[in-house]
A and B are shown apart, each in its own frame.
Chain A
Amino acid sequence: MPESKNRLLYGGGLTSTRPDKNSIPRFGLLWLKLPAYLGISVLIIISLILVSLLPFIGMELMTVSHIVDNALQREIFLTLRFPRVLTAFIAGGGLAVCGLVFQGVFRNPMADPFTLGVASGASCGAAMVILSGAAGVFLGLPVAAFGALCGAVASFLLVMIFSASIRDGSSNMILLAGIAVSFFFSSLLMFSQYVSGMGETFRIVRWLMGGVEVFGYAPLLSMLPFITTGLVLIAANAAALDHFLTGEDIAQTRGVHIRLSRNLLLLAATVMTGGIVSVCGPIGFVGMMVPHFCRPFFGASHRILLPACLFAGGIFLSICDTFARTVIAPSEIPVGVITALLGAPFLIWILRSRGNV
């Protein structure tokens, strides 16, 4: 068909004279659409600067000369502050990627490790271990962490079993099963708190608020295998994740192995969540917010969004944690409190100023 007729059919002549919404130049920082690789580079540079500078900030500001001259200061810097910033960065990045995966697989803007029941499963697992009074190391992991991981995997399996019994196994059903499992584990957690003593209840409540108070590099190392495995699996399925956004019928008829990709992606995100929650406790809001923050700047392609969320999540949580440990120093606020306090107004501001993308 000749081009002129196409134009006639769609009023192409009209649309070409009408300014296209996407071609209007936008000014101001928020309207700047960065080329993907430039954007990612900026994030990486900010990440490097933050990870190297934030450990100097604390109740009292350290300088390089303090660390070189004073052995105590050096010890604080190397075994407390630096691993803490690094842990916050990696946990934040991991949680953001998990949120991205859950939101993509379920095509649901509210999906995150919490809605699927994974986080509450992990919390419940860890709480059970704390209650039982067990301590020590099992298979290279602190037992509480091991409990969290078992809880995460258990909740994931429960969700899968529930949703598999429904014939179509569609995303909404899995999400609904996730919410059910989440409530189940939350209630289990509340029950165990109710029957336990004051001391244990306080420990659990404190743990549930989330935090990255680590000592040395061991917690970081115990979390890393989960995060790297998860990231590799997710990166391998990034193209499939794009296809999920077009609807499952189209995705499958375009050659995506829906069931396999979905299960691999969810398993990867579950293992990552389990690993992170085992060290940091359930830190809310990062997983849900960071992907929404990244999309207006980086578009919807997961090839770009994945590294963007990884770095943006890391930046966000390490800044939040710095707030958490400095605002009322020498006392600390649990970082889970800060993420929502800082994040919620920020997210609403971003969504308002960018509109729907």
Chain B
Amino acid sequence: MTGLEAKNLFFSYRNKNIVEDITFTVSTGGAWALIGRNGAGKSTLLKCFCGLLRPSRPESVLINGVPISKLSPREIALRVAYVPQGGNRPVPPFTVREYVVMARFPYRNFGTLPCQKDKNRVGDALDIAGISHLAGRMMSTLSGGEFQAALIAGAVCQETPFLLLDEPTTYLDPFHQENVRQIIERVHTERGTAVITVTHDVNFALSTHDNILALVDGKIFFCGTKEEFCIDAAGRLSKIFSVNFRAAECPNQKTVYYTEAD
């Protein structure tokens, strides 16, 4: 079985189930968007996928058929990369290049310095995130959008088959939202990396991802392809978020969804 798999995944905190009975598979090269209201369990699910949280049954998350609990942090890091939420984070006291080089940690032998291959990979990652010109800047001097791009560059530099992103466009202006969207698209198409994105931006979710997983109160509300979702997207979105959604056709044949007051 190849792919990142959740099998009857439960996660509970203080005897309350945060996510319940989640079963779905992200195949290699897939692109999934996780949508749902705040507190629906999206980020929790994402953290279970990269080993940051332990689900109630450890064998309920599998990477290529192997339970994640049987893998060391280093082995997980070679398979899954994670981009945390950008806001309110400790700012690493490093330059962008130093920060991205550190992502090669799982590839390095104990006590060795980054080799030429690592440096090349760092250059590639900075290119794909479009921040080569920022390489020498301190992370603390970056704007929010540049910081998010640097976080993604770090994860890309890990060269994993799976990339998890937790609300990558939150707190960003429309310009940088579009930029982050393009970076994710590039990583997905050029590298064939499977992408799982938690997002509240439904148009971003539907434009960049082929599959949608919608959670309501920790349970799966919808799990399937974008096309299936779009059969009645406005209706489904209205149910997920408990607010009226309308669809509008754009001149470029795209459909965008917007909320409407009662």
Contact = CB atoms under 8 A, between A and B. Distances in A.
B99 interface: yes
B105 A254 contact: yes
Nearest to A242: B102
Contacts of A22: 136-138
B16 interface: no
Q: Which of A107, A245, A299 has the most CB of B within 10 A?
A: A245
A255 interface: yes
Contact of A246 (B51, B81, B90): B90
A22 B97 CA distance: 14
B77 interface: yes
B38 interface: no
Interface string A1-37: 1010111011010011000111100000000000000
Please classify the interface of chain A as helix (H, G, I), strand (E, B), loop, or mixed, using the class held by over half of its residues. Answer: helix
B92 A246 contact: yes
A10 B92 contact: no
B84 interface: yes
A251 to B, nearest CB: 9
Nearest to B141: A21
B133 A249 contact: no
A121 B108 CA distance: 38
A255 B51 contact: no
Contacts of B111: 236, 239
B254 interface: no
A50 interface: no
A16 B136 CA distance: 12
B244 interface: no
A196 interface: no
B174 interface: no
B84 A250 contact: yes
B224 interface: no
A253 B94 contact: no
A247 B130 contact: no
A9 B137 contact: no
A134 B144 CA distance: 61
Interface string A296-340: 000111000000000000000000000000000000000000000
Contacts of B94: 242, 245-246, 299-301
Contacts of B47: 249
Contacts of B175: 9
A243 interface: yes
Nearest to B90: A247
A6 B145 CA distance: 13
B217 interface: no
Interface string B102-131: 110110101100000000000000000011
Contact of A15 (B75, B108, B133): B133
Given A6-B133, A10-B131, A12-B133, A243 B84 contact: no
Interface in A70-125: 107
A6 B182 CA distance: 11
A3 B75 CA distance: 34
Contact of B82 (A253, A258, A299): A253
Contacts of A258: 73
B73 A10 contact: no
Contacts of B105: 239, 243, 254-256
Contact of B76 (A10, A247, A255, A300): A255
A9 B130 contact: yes
B258 to A, nearest CB: 26
Contacts of B131: 6, 10
Nearest to A300: B93
A268 B72 CA distance: 23
Contacts of B106: 254-255
Contacts of B134: 10
A301 B105 CA distance: 14
Interface in A244-274: 245-247, 249-250, 252-258
A254 B100 CA distance: 11
Q: Which of A5, A239, A255, A357 has the most CB of B within 10 A?
A: A255
Interface string B177-192: 0010010001000000
A65 interface: no
Nearest to A303: B113
Nearest to B183: A1
Contact of A254 (B75, B77, B130, B137): B77
B62 to A, nearest CB: 17
A254 B103 contact: yes
Q: Which of B52, B73, B89 has the most CB of A within 10 A?
A: B73
Interface in B204-236: none
Contacts of A249: 47, 52, 82, 84
Nearest to B151: A250
Contacts of A252: 51-52, 73
A4 to B, nearest CB: 11
Interface in B39-78: 47, 50-52, 72-78
Given A6-B131, A236-B111, 10 more contacts: A1-B186, A10-B146, A16-B133, A23-B136, A167-B13, A246-B92, A249-B47, A253-B50, A257-B72, A295-B93
Interface of A: 1, 3, 5-7, 9-10, 12, 15-16, 20-23, 107, 167, 236, 239, 242-243, 245-247, 249-250, 252-258, 295, 299-301, 356-357
20 contacts: A1-B130, A3-B132, A9-B130, A9-B179, A10-B134, A22-B136, A236-B111, A246-B92, A247-B84, A247-B89, A249-B84, A253-B76, A253-B80, A254-B105, A254-B158, A255-B72, A256-B73, A257-B74, A299-B94, A300-B93
